Amino acid sequence: MADISRIVDLYDLYKSYRRVARELKISRNTVKKYVLRVKEVQDGLADEILPKNRERNSKNQFNRNIYILLISYYML
């Protein structure tokens, strides 16, 4: 994946999520996410660009536990 600083530098240059995404071959939504996240950190609204605790990880763990439970049930 493209480096976050590269994403932000290109956005500052072009002022276009689409153009940055096209140049780096990543999603426009990814560009937007990191540009906005960096701005939040600069404005003091967030502590870090990449959050340590992601809800997605706990959701994946939950789904994995359900999957294991179902497998165990059907193996009996």
| Per-residue CA distances from 45 to 37, 39, 67, 73 (Å) | 9, 9, 37, 46
| Per-residue CA distances from 53 to 7, 28, 61 (Å) | 23, 24, 13
Residue ranges of the chain whose pLDDT lies below 70: 1-2, 51-60, 75-76
Q: What is the mean pLDDT of the chain?
A: 82
**Domain locations along the chain:** 4-75
pTM over 0.75: no
d(C-alpha 65, C-alpha 29), whole Å: 30
